[in-house]
Structure 1
């Protein structure tokens, strides 16, 4: 009888699979021979003679020599013959029952088979295999999908119990993979079944790829592979290493580190790193125990060089390293550097060291008696900094968690400075500038976007943290007082060193860091000259996305720097092209990590933590204010008949905003920053500079500027000047002369300023006007320009013609 029927039948709970197995013909024969020969059973199926029982061994038909019908599914204990020759019962066992004893008679429940957790798990996996085999006959892909999900959960339980990967699991994977490959999706008409088929196809492919080696081994020799119950996690370990007859698991490593040598256990951990089905937490615990066991600095250094990267590997699949693990990694790096500082005349960790054949062998001492161990100390610091940045990108920037996390930036900066000083003390003198590029660029990465006050605080704390190490820098020595002059020298020196000894990308990044710092803290013209001299913009479009983002940030910072110096034309010129882009947030790297379409490390490179962002509202307000001061007078001059050179404008210019405003059927009070600038523009068109300045001062974004009072003062004077020009362009057609004194009182400007502004405007635009000899009156000479009434009449006449053409289209063809 096939197991097909037995595997699908649901027996009572609490019985084992052995109790539910069906009796073979040979077992029935033994039971019948052991029963009483003189009594007959009421059940005809159990009244077979000895010859009939022997014939059942050779019969292939299930209807002869075996129970059938409903009695087939009875438990084996109830089908066995009792002492009276009738149907047996486990509660009525007699002394003549085969295998019975006096002890059995006193046991009401009988003997139960106790199974281990491993055996139960294997039984469940075997049931899954049978269920899939059953569902295969009816092509029930929904059931196959459910069973495959079940066995993947069972695999997790197997790993939790240190069982490794059971061979039954590999057998099921091969079974499903063969079933999928032999089926055709086009033949499946039901949508739900087709969806289940696609799902199981993808999952089976993924699981097969993860267990490719074991699957190949199974297909090479299925019979030999099935003999192994499970595939041990560490089958390559020495079987006698821990005094055990079977391969050692990671749990045994963690508990037996004191029983073996230090380097033997360390080698096992290093060999186990990165392997599948290995509990990484066991490896961490083992290394932590090894640190306690370490008897000399060399053993401690080797343990830390293995422990630190392993901590990063544990969280490699996560979006960022958990903060507790990050702090544990930070403490490990600090401990390693403390050991290196205490033994700097004996042991040094260097990337230039010569590798040894075995980890037990200490390196050969050089002429100075120093043993150099192969390792990259700063790579640990770089990885720690990367995980710190990832955590900031994944934490809500508006929460208190972000602020608490941001406090760790000082710790990581201290570590960068300390590692730089250690490398300067251990690296060869002739190669220091080239090999110190990574620490230098990391230092600039943390300070270039900050104000001088913040950098001063960071540098002061960093130098205090490394004062006990007794290291000094050959490039930027520790000053007696850290002031703005030192900060400028620091940024300039680091950038110059990187520009001389690095490749193209790193050289450009260092130059852009320096330009950004100078634009933010020093001077616009100096930063502009530096940008033009480096010629970074020549091929920036072919550079790395992160470098393009940095370049865009530099351009924006240059524009803000020009605005802070009240250089309105320069600011408008710098920001005009950049702000014409529709995705300003993306090109500045200020989008959220979830919106980035790329995958891998490029996602983090295209995003910046929130505290590095440039306020977009401030950028918009600055550009629209510059557009207001430049375009409003030019628009007024153009509409008054003066020939002016029209400048290109973007979608965010004030001219475009006024066009939408004039088309709107309802104009409410100003609410946003753009609304305030728009109302300021309308007031300027009327020559009301006071109301225009009042609207501009109500914008809250100005508080983000460090010199807000100076900016608003310069902005007020510029609004007065541009309002004067607008007033002159608007009303010169209605007046034959202007009094300089009245204009000075109207716009609150000195008479000399009024004369200089109007004289420059008249000469630049070739306006028919001139001052009298005393320069107290500006006389307007009437020319060919039309009056306001004539301008309105011409517009109405043109509109009338358009309306006539629409109403009488047939007259146009005559």
Structure 2
């Protein structure tokens, strides 16, 4: 049995081998049989043919090779489809299948070289593989199985592709040649297969003829002599391109090139303007998505086309641009010069779209690269275009559109300091000089070499520079004021509001605090900003932040805290300033909301440093809150900054506090030192914050902060430790806080006038004599109320003892209920008429709170604990003690006492 099993196994292997060989030799076997005896195989379909048997044999061999070649091409197409969807698991299996088919194709073709289709597939596969590996975001989103297949493909290509390295290099050098040159080379080696090769060439030539016919039909106008092209031909071709816009399968790049050529052969300025306007629209169509930005070369080329349009409109004022004009399709000739004609287009919309595209590109580009700096250099180009558009609108009298363009211009200036503005002016001058050099080279006959389309576009974009007649005002504020006046006259409500905020922002960064504050108060924008659009609210928040920073640089601490308090206390500074996304666990945002929020983000060069903003807010809060905390034993005030109080409480709760690391730690450490009067240590903590290096006047700001810390330290020290002194020397205070005599005298005198410090000046000795603090009116009234309450309780007790059977021998020893004990008026609970304790002396230190309570109608209720402590500084917290039946008991006791006295008098008389 075993021998049969092994024999059967060998037989099956031999059968499989025979099957594989029989498939390859089936065509030869079938061709050798007669067509009359057997009607099977390919010979069945060759019956009735006029060709010879040898010709039939050759055709059958050709079909077998073609079948292998078609299978190879089909697998390549399937691999391309899977590459487009990044299905690398399927690509891996198809790659194995492709290699097996490649071996069969080489056997069938008896060739040693790989077909061009196979080489092309290897090149595409290698390029797509390395492009996918370079895209980190895409690889992170892949499933583990797909990522594993991607890495496997990379390793297999490293081992497989070196064998075809030379052929791949040749293909990369000349990728536009025919796809199947190998098959034709093989056919040329055998003269017997010439007819079949001719037939295949006829089909291929037929396809090539159709393709070339289409190209000739497309390029018919390009091949004609420009002198032979008529106005009607250009107009017809223009309408054809306009009608094909937006359709599927249309190459937008070809449309741009065709329209650009039509502009060169246009017959007159009117037709040229009409064509150039459509060139701008076609350039915008290349990037129709709002989520992505236009490529910088296309952007520059679009600006160059608009420069040409504006120049034609300036030279031919009879051409009027109207966006509601539908166009004259039936026009067959150029209109006469001087007759007003309309052309479709909206230059203002084009300028706004270019501004938006420039803004979006700055949002996406990495700000730490040279590409970002190169993109910033395009700003003078846009400003030159906006100025030319403003001049055109001023000539045509379109004041409403003029205000819109003026707002776009002012939004490029408001955040620039004088130094940045001067640098931009120098850049514009350099670009003008470069434009003159390029113009001279063009006049000398230098030509640009022919390259691919994208390279040509980039070359043209480099040529587009600032026009020679573009000038920027020497003063940025002068230019902004001119633009703001135009907006205030002709703009709508939103435009005027944004122009006002831009002007306030510009004044604030130039340290004109009072001017900026007055403009903000007069505009009343703070009352209506919540009803404005989100971009205007972001601009308002940015303006308030700069206003607060300006107040701090000017030494106005309370004004700075007022401006920054609401913004920094919200906990969403990044989101409010549009400088980042706030990821909150309790807030879920839809993808649409996140996309809209990302579109509103400010570019990096327009950011306000958040660390500087936070340090300014906390330092201002510290300088305002520390004196209040020093007087908390005497008066309780509402916190000026809840954020600062919360951070200070959390810092005090920490068991161990290490050295400060961030801004908050530095401010909290400075606060602890300042509360002890150590202003030098507090200044060292604050001066070590790294954000001060962002200020141009760093030394002046640090000197101002040092003076504020000295003054705040003096006030805090007097409020905290003044009660422990009988007198303080002015000279000693000057040495402790490094302040001049006049400033110390001024600060202390102001504290005395505000009743924060109980003392007076001794002018001959220049000392501060501390006074014992007298109780306030509220404290005096509370003390009087406590005395009266104690007397009333004592009277009630006496009346009760008389009713119940006399004083029982306690008249001499017992003091009044709740009497004077150990220097404090001890509040006893009045209950059911039983008094406790004996009075033993006058009040020495103060009055402790009377706690009225108990049950029944005879006692007092509800008095809160409070009163004066030994030093008399604590707040009297006593409430209104309500005595139920107190007055009634007093009157009853007085009547009872009178009756008792009358009885005693009667007994004596008897």
TM-score (norm 2): 0.57
2:234 counterpart residue number: 262
1:379 lines up with 2:355 in the alignment: no
CA-to-aligned-CA distance 1:491-521 (integer Å, 9 cap, x gap): 2232232123222222211111111111222
1:668 counterpart residue number: 658
1:610 lines up with 2:609 in the alignment: no
Query: Where does 1:316-335 land on structure 2 (aligned, <5 Å)?
Result: 316-317=288-289, 319-335=292-308
1:441 counterpart residue number: 407
Q: Say if 1:765 and 1:78 are closer, same or farther in 2 by CA, change over 3 A.
A: farther
1:649 lines up with 2:641 in the alignment: yes
Secondary structure at the residue paired with 1:607? Answer: coil
Question: Cα distance, 1:481 vs. partner?
Answer: 9.5
Which of 723, 729, 745 aligns to 1:733? It is 723
Could you tell me whether the CA contact under 8 Å between 1:315 and 1:321 is conserved in 2? yes
Question: Cα distance, 1:452 vs. partner?
Answer: 2.4
Of 368-377 and 575-584, more deviation after overlay is shown by 368-377
Q: Distance in 2 between matches of 1:100 and 1:450?
A: 88
Q: Distance in 1 between matches of 2:535 and 2:263?
A: 40
Which of 295, 309, 315 aligns to 2:287? It is 315
2:140 counterpart residue number: none
Question: Cα distance, 1:336 vs. partner?
Answer: 3.0
Query: Where does 1:276-675 land on structure 2 (aligned, <5 Å)?
Result: 276-317=248-289, 319-341=292-314, 344-345=315-316, 348-351=319-322, 356-358=327-329, 360=331, 371-425=341-395, 427-428=396-397, 432-458=398-424, 482-484=473-475, 487-591=476-580, 597-598=591-592, 602-603=596-597, 606-638=600-632, 641-643=633-635, 645-651=637-643, 653=644, 655-675=645-665
Q: Distance in 1 between matches of 2:762 and 2:499?
A: 58
Question: Cα distance, 1:701 vs. partner?
Answer: 0.8
Q: Say if 1:746 and 1:507 are closer, same or farther in 2 by CA, change over 3 A.
A: same
Q: Say if 1:294 and 1:95 are closer, same or farther in 2 by CA, change over 3 A.
A: closer
1:694 counterpart residue number: 684
Question: Cα distance, 1:714 vs. partner?
Answer: 1.4
The CA RMSD measured in Å over matched residues stands at 4.5
2:148 counterpart residue number: none
Q: Distance in 2 between matches of 1:262 and 1:384?
A: 28
1:748 lines up with 2:748 in the alignment: no
Question: Cα distance, 1:722 vs. partner?
Answer: 0.2
Q: Say if 1:601 and 1:734 are closer, same or farther in 2 by CA, change over 3 A.
A: closer
Question: Cα distance, 1:689 vs. partner?
Answer: 1.5
Could you tell me whether the CA contact under 8 Å between 1:394 and 1:593 is conserved in 2? no
Q: Say if 1:280 and 1:685 are closer, same or farther in 2 by CA, change over 3 A.
A: same
Q: Distance in 2 between matches of 1:424 and 1:456?
A: 27
Q: Distance in 2 between matches of 1:711 and 1:563?
A: 8
Q: Distance in 2 between matches of 1:701 and 1:303?
A: 54
Q: Which runs of 5+ in 2 are unaligned?
A: 1-21, 79-86, 95-208, 437-468, 584-588, 776-844, 847-868, 875-910
Which of 44, 52, 64 aligns to 1:102? It is 52
Q: Distance in 1 between matches of 2:594 and 2:750?
A: 58
Secondary structure at the residue paired with 1:436? Answer: helix
TM-score (norm 1): 0.64
Could you tell me whether the CA contact under 8 Å between 1:397 and 1:610 is conserved in 2? yes
Q: Distance in 2 between matches of 1:399 and 1:671?
A: 29
1:253 counterpart residue number: 218
Higher gyration radius (CA): 2
Q: Distance in 1 between matches of 2:555 and 2:532?
A: 33
Query: Where does 1:702-721 land on structure 2 (aligned, <5 Å)?
Result: 702-721=692-711
Secondary structure at the residue paired with 1:667? Answer: coil
Q: Say if 1:365 and 1:614 are closer, same or farther in 2 by CA, change over 3 A.
A: farther
Question: Cα distance, 1:784 vs. partner?
Answer: 6.9
Question: Cα distance, 1:586 vs. partner?
Answer: 0.8
Query: Where does 1:31-70 land on structure 2 (aligned, <5 Å)?
Result: none
Q: Distance in 1 between matches of 2:377 and 2:47?
A: 80
Could you tell me whether the CA contact under 8 Å between 2:719 and 2:757 is conserved in 1? no
Q: Distance in 1 between matches of 2:327 and 2:399?
A: 27
Q: Distance in 1 between matches of 2:357 and 2:637?
A: 53
CA-to-aligned-CA distance 1:532-552 (integer Å, 9 cap, x gap): 111112222221110111111
Could you tell me whether the CA contact under 8 Å between 1:643 and 1:765 is conserved in 2? no
Secondary structure at the residue paired with 1:732? Answer: helix
Q: Say if 1:372 and 1:89 are closer, same or farther in 2 by CA, change over 3 A.
A: closer
Q: Distance in 1 between matches of 2:411 and 2:275?
A: 31
CA-to-aligned-CA distance 1:81-137 (integer Å, 9 cap, x gap): 95375544668x5999443532645634427579999xx99x989x99xxxxxxxxx
Q: Which runs of 5+ in 1 are unaligned?
A: 1-70, 129-142, 151-243, 470-477, 796-814
CA-to-aligned-CA distance 1:284-326 (integer Å, 9 cap, x gap): 2212322333343333322211111111111112611122222
2:34 counterpart residue number: 83
